[in-house]
Structure 1
Amino acid sequence: MRMTAAVMYEQGLAAPFAQSQPFRIEEVELEGPGDGEVLVEVRAAGLCHSDLSVIEGQRKRPLPIVGGHEGAGIVREVGRGVKGLAVGDHVAMAGVAGCGQCRVCRAGRPGLCQAVSGARAEGLLATGSRRLRLADGGRLNHYSGISVYAQYAVVAPQSLIKIDHAVPLDVAALFGCAVVTGAGAVFNSAQVKPGASVAVIGLGGVGLTAVMAAREAGAARIVGIDVLPSKFDLAKAVGATDCFDARDPEVVPKVLALTDGGVDHAFEISGHLTALEMAQKLTVRGGEVVGVGIGKSTSAFTTLQLPWVCEERVLRGSFMGGGVPQDDVPKYVDLYLRGRLPVDRLRSDHIGFDQLNHAFDQLHTGAVVRQILLPHGKL
C-alpha cells in the first residue's frame, strides 16, 4: 500500500529543525504483513527525546529511515502464525521486542535481546524482514522495529501490547516508551520501597512518569530536578515533594540536607554526563544511581573506586523499563484507569505531519513534555 510517512535522509542537521527539515513528509510503499507480522493503523505517535537524539546524530541509524518508536493504533491485518491479536484490537507499540529464545529473553529481559537488537541496528523488523520502500522502490529502513511516524506500520507481535479500549489512543501511545520506561525504572530496576527517598533528574515525559511511579511505590521524598523551573508545577501535581533548578550551584548540598545525607535512588533521565555526575553526588551511602537517559554512543563516565566499594554504591542501567512490556503495560494501564498513574497529563499538544519538524524544535528547547503526532489528522 502507499501511505504518508516522515522519512529521515540525514542525521546531524542543525536546529531550528523547521528550517533544516530532518524529516521529509512523503508517500512511501508498505508491504505485508508476512508470516508472524501484524499490520497496524497508527493513530497516535509520541515525540521523544530519544528521537531528538537520533535527529541530532548522537546515535547513528541506517538511512533513509521512517522515524518514531512510541505509538498506538488499531490492528488491521494479522499474518499467519500470530497468536493473541485480532483485527480491531487496540495496541500500544513499543520499540522493545525479543526473540523469545535466547538466554536474556528466557530470563525476562527482552529489551536486551541480541538477535533483535542486531536486526534493529540494520533497519529491519524483529522478523528480519523489511516491509518499507521509497516511492521509487529504493531501500527504506524501519526505526526500532516499528516506525510509527507513518499512517500504517508492519511490526512483529512482540512489539505490540493489547490495550483496553477505554484508554484514548493518544494516551495509549505514551505507554510504548514514556510510561514503560519511567515506571519500569522505578518498579523493576530500582524496586523502590515505601518510605524511600528518590531524586529524578530530567522532568520530561519519562521523568514525570518516574515521579508518578515513585509516588505509587510509596516513596516518602520525591525530589524533581530540571533546568526548566516551568516544569515544577506539573511535577509537584503528579507527585514531587520538592523541586530544584539543576543550574543552582548549591543544588547538591540542598538535596543532601533535605534528605539526611542523600537519596536512596537517583534516576538520571536526561542522558547528560553532568546530570549523571550530579546523580552520583546525590545518593546516600549504600544508595544507587539508575541511568535511564541515553546520550551519545561515544559518551563515557567515571566513578571513584574507593567510595563505590567502601560505601556500597550501586550504578544501574535501566533500558525501556527493564521488564517485559506485555506484562508491565497492562499493570500501568490499570493504574492509569484507576487514576493512580495520571499519564494523560503528559500530553502537550496534537500535531500533524506538517508540524513535525517544528515540534522537535519545541522539544529541543524544553517548551513541551509530550507532543502527539496524529498520522491521519485525527484520532
Structure 2
Amino acid sequence: MSSQKMRTAQIVEYNKPYQLCERPTPVCGDNDLLIQVHAAGFCHSDLQVLHGQFPAHLPLTPSHEPAGKIVQIGAQVQGSWKVGDRVGVLNFKNSCKSCVGCRQQLRRRHRTDPRFCQSREMAGFKHDGAFAQYMLADPDTTVHLPEKVSFEQGAPLMCAGATVWGALQKLKPDVQPGEAVAIVGIGGLGQLGVQFAKAMNFRTVAIDNRDEGRKLSMEVSEKLKPDLVVDSSAPDASDKILEFTSGEGLAGIVVCTDSIQANAWSLEQLGNGGVMVPVGLPKEKWQFDSSALVFRELVIKGVYVAGTEDVQEMLKVVAEHDITSHITMLEFDDIPGIVEKYTDKAMKGRLVVKIA
C-alpha cells in the first residue's frame, strides 16, 4: 500500500487556499495504525493553523478531526485492534515516555499521556493530519467508534466533542447533578456542550448573543434541549440567570468562545464557589474581576482536549443519548473553498469533509 498514491489537501503557503495533490500513502510503522479516513472535520484551530499561528514545516496536511477504518496494524501494536475496526483519532500522538511530562504522568497515572509529552506529534497542527485518504494513528490515542455513531458525526467528536466534554468533566466534583450549569457560545462546541450537560443531568442554560446560536441550542432532540436560553446581550440576561437559579447564580459555566468580554461576563454569573472552564484561546490575555474571584471563592480551571479514556466514555454517552452535531457535509474537491464556507455568517455547527 505504501507504494500507492493518495489524494490529500495541503497547506503549501500560509494564508493561501489549500492545494489538492497526490502524495505517497504513509508507511505503517511497527507501532502505528494505518487509518483509511472516511470523514474529517474543520475546526477553528484549523483556521489558526492556516494563518500560521502554530508554525510548522510546510507542506502540511491539515485537519485533526478524523474518523475512519483501520486498514493495517503495526507488528508491535498491543491491544484488541482489528483491520476493519471503526475508529476516531485524537491529534496528540507518539509520546517519548522520557520527558518531564511523560514522567509526571507515569508517576501519577502509571502510564504516559501524549497530551503532555514535550516531544508529542500533533496531527493537523505540526504534523500531517486528516485531509487525506490515509493517515497514521497512535493506538494510545485512537478510540473505537460505536456502530450507532456515523463517521460524519464521529469526526467532530475528536476535537469539538473531546474539548467540551473534557471541560464539563472539570466541573467535578464541585458541581453536582441537578445544579445549574451554563454553556456560553453555541457553535459546534456549544451545541454538543448543551447536550452533554443535559445527559449529565445538569440544569442547563444555553447562552449566546447571536440569534443563530440560540436557535442552534434548540436544534437537538427534545430530551437534550436546554432548560433556559439566554441572550447575553440583553439588559436582563443576568436577572434571568438569577431567577432560574433562585438567586444563587450558576454552579458551573463552560465558555466556548475566545471573546475576552464574554469570558469576563461569564465569571460574573457564577454563585459562591462556582467553577468556570474557559475553552477558547484569545490572542490577548483573559481579564477577570479579582473581587468576584476572591470574595465568592470562584474557581477557574484550564482544560486541554480530553484524553483517550475520557473520549471513549464520551462516545458511550453519545451513543446512549443520540447526541449529534449540526453538520454541513462537503466533498473532498470542496476543500480549497472551505475557509469561505466556515467564515460565512450563515454558517452554523460543524463543517465535515467526506474523504472516502
| Structure 1 length-normalised TM | 0.80
User: Partner of 2:21 in structure 1?
Assistant: 26
| Residue 240 (1) aligns with residue 226 (2) | yes
User: Partner of 1:18 in structure 2?
Assistant: none
1:100-249 matched pairs, under 5 angstroms: 101=97, 102-106=102-106, 107-108=108-109, 110=113, 112-117=115-120, 119-120=121-122, 143=125, 147-191=129-173, 192-220=175-203, 222-236=204-218, 237=220, 238-249=224-235
Q: Report percent identity of matched pairs.
A: 25
Indicate if the aligned counterparts of 2:160 and 2:189 stay in contact, CA closer than 8 A. Answer: yes
Indicate if the aligned counterparts of 2:26 and 2:134 stay in contact, CA closer than 8 A. Answer: no
Call closer, same or farther: CA 1:112–1:38 in 2, change over 3 Å: closer
| Residue 45 (1) aligns with residue 40 (2) | yes
Call closer, same or farther: CA 1:369–1:250 in 2, change over 3 Å: same
| Residue 255 (1) aligns with residue 234 (2) | no
Provide the rounded CA distance (Å) in 2 between the counterparts of 1:61 and 1:190. 36
SS at 1:74 equivalent: strand
Which string of whole-angstrom CA distances, capped at 9 and with x for unpartnered residues, describes residues 284-327 of structure 1? 1211210112333xx21233434323321111111113xx32x2
Provide the rounded CA distance (Å) in 1 between the counterparts of 2:171 and 2:92. 16
The letter of the residue matching 2:150 is P
Which string of whole-angstrom CA distances, capped at 9 and with x for unpartnered residues, describes residues 79-135 of structure 1? 221112221111101113463842343335836413344x43xxxx7xxxxxxxxxx
Indicate if the aligned counterparts of 1:194 and 1:217 stay in contact, CA closer than 8 A. Answer: yes
| Residue 291 (1) aligns with residue 273 (2) | no
User: Partner of 1:359 in structure 2?
Assistant: 338
Provide the rounded CA distance (Å) in 2 between the counterparts of 1:196 and 1:341. 23
SS at 2:301 equivalent: strand
| Residue 92 (1) aligns with residue 88 (2) | yes
| Structure 2 length-normalised TM | 0.85
Provide the rounded CA distance (Å) in 2 between the counterparts of 1:262 and 1:229. 24
Count of aligned positions: 338
SS at 1:153 equivalent: strand
SS at 1:215 equivalent: helix
Which string of whole-angstrom CA distances, capped at 9 and with x for unpartnered residues, describes residues 123-173 of structure 1? xx7xxxxxxxxxxxxxxxx53656001111012222311223343221222
SS at 1:66 equivalent: coil
Shift of 1:362: 3.0
SS at 1:177 equivalent: helix
Unaligned runs of 5+ in 1: 14-20, 126-141
Provide the rounded CA distance (Å) in 1 between the counterparts of 2:213 and 2:77. 43
Call closer, same or farther: CA 1:100–1:309 in 2, change over 3 Å: farther
User: Aligned to 1:7, which of 2, 5, 10?
Assistant: 10
User: Aligned to 2:313, which of 316, 327, 331?
Assistant: 331
Unaligned runs of 5+ in 2: none
Provide the rounded CA distance (Å) in 2 between the counterparts of 1:303 and 1:94. 31
User: Partner of 1:16 in structure 2?
Assistant: none
Call closer, same or farther: CA 1:63–1:328 in 2, change over 3 Å: same
Call closer, same or farther: CA 1:59–1:99 in 2, change over 3 Å: closer
Shift of 1:253: 4.2
| Residue 370 (1) aligns with residue 350 (2) | yes
